């Protein structure tokens, strides 16, 4: 019973690593999309965000299941560490890998956050420039329309 529980815990850690790898891949896609600074790629960016949200939800489920199972076997494993030392060692290695991936993901998230801020700032700036140029064109149009009703200013009054 306990061996199968430990195997399930180990499997959960392996799945967590796999999901974290997928998150890293989505972060790379985000980096590539945000680096291009093209507004038509916004749907791609949103798709990566949605995908990452799904993956994070899966991670949370795995973490909850892991914690629940670990709480049930914790006492017995602590009492018989020698019996389960191979399982414990493998899980410790997996946890170290997870910790490393977690730090890598966090760093790429910060990088992508800066890129996203630059991307959206640039998009806002382009919209403001567009509004200003549209307003200038509209003002020019109105001004020119008003001038057509003005009679000539230099009239020769000599008859």
- pLDDT 10s digits, 123-135: 778 777 777 777 7
Q: Is residue 151 part of a domain?
A: no
The pLDDT of residue 118 is 83
Mean pLDDT, range 139-151, rounded to an integer: 64
Q: Is residue 155 part of a domain?
A: no
Strands (DSSP E) found in 30-152: none
Give the orientation angle of helix 42-79 with respect to helix 85-147, to 10 degrees. Answer: 160
Q: Is residue 153 part of a domain?
A: no
Q: Is 8 exposed, middle or buried (0-12, 13-18, 19+ CB in 10 A)?
A: middle
Rounded to an integer, what distance in angstroms lies between the CA atom of residue 120 and that of residue 142?
A: 33
Question: Looking at the 3D structure of the chain, how many domains does it have?
Answer: 1
Rounded to an integer, what distance in angstroms lies between the CA atom of residue 5 and that of residue 1?
A: 6
Q: Is residue 132 part of a domain?
A: yes
85-94, 132-141, 147-156: least confidently modelled range: 147-156
* Residue % of the chain over a pLDDT of 90: 53
- State the Cα angle at 101 between 98 and 103, rounded to 5°: 110
Rounded to an integer, what distance in angstroms lies between the CA atom of residue 87 and that of residue 11?
A: 11
Record the tokens describing residue 119, joined without a space: 């991307």
Mean pLDDT, range 19-36, rounded to an integer: 92
pLDDT tier at 36, thresholds 50, 70, 90:
confident
The pLDDT of residue 146 is 65
| Helix residue ranges per DSSP H, the chain | 2-36, 42-79, 85-147
Rounded to an integer, what distance in angstroms lies between the CA atom of residue 16 and that of residue 79?
A: 27
Which residue did the predictor score with more confidence, 39 or 102?
A: 102
The pLDDT of residue 145 is 64
The pLDDT of residue 51 is 95
Residue count of the chain: 159
**Three-state secondary structure call for residue 1:** coil
Mean pLDDT, range 62-76, rounded to an integer: 93
Please give the residue range of the domain that contains residue 53.
Answer: 2-142
pLDDT tier at 34, thresholds 50, 70, 90:
confident
């Amino acid at each position: 019973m306990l061996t199968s529980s430990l195997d399930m815990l180990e499997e959960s850690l392996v799945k967590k690593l796999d999901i974290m790898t997928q998150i890293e891949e989505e972060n790379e896609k985000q980096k590539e999309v945000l680096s291009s600074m093209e507004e038509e790629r916004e749907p791609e960016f949103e798709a990566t965000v949605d995908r990452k949200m799904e993956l994070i939800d899966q991670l949370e489920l795995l973490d909850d299941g892991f914690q629940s199972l670990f709480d049930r076997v914790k006492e017995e494993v602590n009492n018989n560490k020698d019996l389960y030392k191979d399982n414990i060692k493998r899980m410790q290695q997996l946890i170290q890998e997870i910790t490393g991936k977690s730090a890598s993901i966090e760093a790429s998230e910060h990088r992508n956050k800066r890129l996203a801020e630059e991307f959206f700032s640039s998009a806002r700036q382009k919209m403001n420039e567009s509004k200003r140029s549209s307003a200038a064109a509209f003002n020019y149009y109105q001004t020119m329309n008003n001038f057509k009703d003005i009679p000539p200013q230099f009239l020769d009054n000599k008859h």
